Amino acid sequence: MSLAGKTVVVGVSGGIAAYKAPEVVRLLVQDGAAVRVVLTRGAEEFVTPLTLQTLSGQPVSRHTFDLTEESEIGHIRLADSADVLLIAPATANLIAKLTAGMADDLLTTVALATRAPVVLAPAMNVHMYANPAVQHNLARLVELGRIVIEPDAGSLACGYEGVGRLPEAPVLVEEVRVVLSAKDLAGARVLVTAGPTWEALDPIRHIANRSSGKMGYAVARVARRRGAQVTLVSGPTALAPPRGVEVVAATSAREMEEAVLRAAPACDVIVMAAAVGDYRPAEPARHKIKRGRGELALQLVANPDILARVGALPGRRVLVGFAAETRDLVASARRKLQAKGVDLMVANDVTLEGAGFDVDTNIVSLLDRSGRVERLERMTKEAVASAILDRVARLRGARRSPALAGRDLPRLR
């Protein structure tokens, strides 16, 4: 989702991780958000107001009793304008103040006055983070409705190793998107497949395809933003696992089939975005195949048709399939939809520029069981994922709505 039209107030407290705040602000602005920054006195020791003002394009708020701001009751104006308040980093001291309901500086005053969601990203020394007092405070803030982003583990500025690192800026911005997204899939259990499958020729080589996994990963991220509990069955990719998503690794088509069929019965929505290999070597060699003087002949056998297997399962769920084609796009996708019990087919011609594998955009057509075809021109894969899940949400809503009972609706399982 774009953050256009949203106001994000970014609070920065006095820890070394404040050096990441400028990148957070830059990414939020790049995504269309209006960003207002509030600095504590401690934060000014690590990052300058001028840097954050330049990146946000807005004056940086620093002092509760600044006469210019307080002539308009500045802390209330900031609190009321926010769609979300992100505090990154949140130090142990700030966390303790918020737990106690203190308001002794501008940031804590805004945090108490706002009715917007408050998102805290703790960052501190590993032993400080593990201190029972800090853990108690964080647990209490969660009880009070605050959202806490778990810190990462790794090397800390103090020289220790462990949990306490502020997550990188893209992670923090993603959590803002999660908070601001409509939760029309709340409570839904969504299974997504992504990436290629690899079929072993020998212990060194394999048969694969060009899928990067970007489309499926985008679907998983967007489904999580919209409130779903997401399981992602992923073939081998170079992508970072989406935060907040259960990831199940699978290498071959048969491994993916096993993982999907194990998870599918408990799911309400299944989106089969993986590019599963249609064939595999009949007998992979036990040792490396050496170069010979002549040609090498491979005997291939068919892999399981996972989409058809899922379409034949009992139960009522929304099933989305993908069809990557190089010709006869709509006709091929329609045959696949009808043959495999799919509710929505996402078809794309991988020969088009800006579509298909290993790019950040896609051009697709959406086909449903009513015969309707909707073409989506080139857009980001996240935008495509949003369009797919819009259709999924409508299909689920139509199935559950008593007012629509008896109408000629697409068949759902």
Determine contact, residues 164/124, Cβ cutoff 8 Å. yes
Query: In 69-155, where do the E strands start and end?
Result: 84-90, 118-122, 147-148, 152-155
Query: What is the distance between the alpha carbons of residues 390 and 384, in angstroms, rounded to a whole number?
Result: 10
Is 267 assigned a catalytic role? Answer: no
Query: What is the distance between the alpha carbons of residues 66 and 109, in angstroms, rounded to a whole number?
Result: 14
CA torsion 90-91-97-103 (nearest 10°) is: -60
Query: What is the distance between the alpha carbons of residues 385 and 98, in angstroms, rounded to a whole number?
Result: 37
- 276: tokens are 């599963």
Question: For residue 24, what is the enclosing H or E element?
Answer: helix 21-30
Half-sphere exposure (CA, 13 Å, Cβ side) for 392? Answer: 32
Query: What is the distance between the alpha carbons of residues 113 and 111, in angstroms, rounded to a whole number?
Result: 6
Cα-Cα-Cα-Cα dihedral sign, residues 236, 237, 240, 242: negative
Catalytic residue of the set 130, 139, 158, 300 = 158
Query: In 239-339, where do the E strands start and end?
Result: 246-249, 269-272, 279-281, 300-302, 318-325
Question: For residue 330, what is the enclosing H or E element?
Answer: helix 329-339
Angle at the Cα of 285 from the Cα atoms of 282 and 288, rounded to 5 degrees? 145
Determine contact, residues 6/34, Cβ cutoff 8 Å. yes
- Give me the residues paired with residue 147 across strands: 119
Q: Which residues are catalytic?
A: 158
